[in-house]
């Protein structure tokens, strides 16, 4: 089946630093990548949608200059949290779409803690 | 945009009994409705899904029903077991695989042994 590898699984960083999260589709081409954020005991909230080779579309209220998304190839998308603050601490999870055949495949998630 | 509401937020049932979780959606263009099970710190796992051209789908102890006219769909789990304890999310999309999934608020299901 379709597999998406997400790294790192956990990261602790200091306030003010940047963190990069990678999602790789291992056995299919991800034409679209969805990035979600999930706070404790809450639902998955879509942050942005990216298509290979084009700029990401951000949801209302999500700062595009703070959450940089790159989808340079059909198998790799990255989310960089810039100048991280404690309130950015959350569970970040990607979902790769391989269109009508592969549907939605979730990465394993990244637990970000900003101290 | 799409808005998905989910009820109840918590549900406790005796082992062996049935559990029902309900969702309503707002966008009549939505035509794909998956249900996910999420354990603490893990990715959501797809447990069943339904498309708009079908009213009901069943997979062993799990079933989903869809009422497009009323814009609601439900998850039914029969003969519940302790391992069914988790958080369940419904979601909706207007184009399977190509459009975003909008998630419901989640239901924490606890099975009481």
pLDDT digits (tens, 9 = 90+) for A78-100: 999 999 999 999 999 999 998 77
Q: Is the predicted pLDDT of residue A31 greater than 90, yes or no?
A: no
Q: Which percentage of chain B shows pLDDT scores above 90?
A: 92
Contact B87, B9 (CB under 8 A): no
Q: What's chain B's average pLDDT?
A: 96
pLDDT at residue A50, as a whole number:
92
Q: Is the predicted pLDDT of residue B27 greater than 80, yes or no?
A: yes
Q: B43 and A102 in contact by Cβ < 8 A?
A: no
pLDDT at residue B54, as a whole number:
87
- In chain B the beta strands, taken as DSSP E runs, fall at 4-7, 10-14, 19-25, 32-38, 45-51, 56-59, 62-67, 72-77, 86-92, 102-103, 107-112
Mean pLDDT for B8-33 is 97
Q: Is the predicted pLDDT of residue A1 greater than 80, yes or no?
A: no
**Phi, psi for residue A100 in degrees, rounded to 5:** -70, -25
Instruction: Tell me how far apart the alpha carbons of residues A80 and A76 are, in angstroms, rounded to a whole number.
Output: 13
pLDDT at residue B35, as a whole number:
98
pLDDT digits (tens, 9 = 90+) for B48-69: 999 988 899 999 999 999 999 9
Contacts of B105 in chain A (CB under 8 A): 42-43
pLDDT digits (tens, 9 = 90+) for B82-110: 999 999 999 999 988 888 999 999 999 99
Q: How far is A91 from chain B (nearest CA, A)?
A: 8
- Tokens 């956990």 found at: A10
Q: Which of A6, A30, A103, A108 to mutate to test the interface with B (most CBs of B within 10 A)?
A: A103
Q: What's chain A's average pLDDT?
A: 94
Q: A44 and B43 in contact by Cβ < 8 A?
A: no
């Amino acid at each position: 089946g379709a597999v998406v590898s997400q790294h790192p699984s956990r990261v602790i960083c200091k306030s003010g630093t940047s963190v990069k999260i990678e999602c790789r589709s291992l056995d299919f081409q991800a034409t679209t990548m969805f990035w979600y954020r999930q706070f404790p005991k809450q639902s998955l909230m879509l942050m942005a949608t990216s298509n290979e080779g084009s700029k990401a579309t951000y949801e209302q209220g999500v700062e595009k200059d703070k959450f940089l998304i790159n989808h340079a190839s059909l198998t790799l998308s990255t989310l960089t949290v810039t100048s991280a603050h404690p309130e950015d601490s959350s569970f970040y999870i990607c979902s790769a779409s391989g269109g009508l055949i592969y549907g939605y495949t979730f990465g394993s998630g990244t637990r970000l803690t900003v101290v | 945009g799409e808005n998905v509401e989910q009820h109840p937020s918590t549900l406790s049932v005796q082992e062996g009994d049935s559990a029902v979780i309900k969702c309503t959606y707002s966008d009549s263009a939505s035509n794909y409705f998956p249900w996910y099970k999420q354990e603490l710190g893990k990715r959501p796992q797809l447990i069943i899904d339904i498309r708009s051209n079908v009213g009901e789908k069943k997979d062993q102890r799990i079933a989903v029903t869809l009422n497009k006219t009323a814009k609601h769909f439900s998850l039914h789990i029969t003969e519940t077991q302790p391992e069914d304890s988790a958080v369940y999310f419904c979601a909706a999309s207007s184009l399977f695989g190509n459009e975003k999934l909008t998630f419901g608020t989640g239901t924490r299901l606890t099975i009481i042994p």
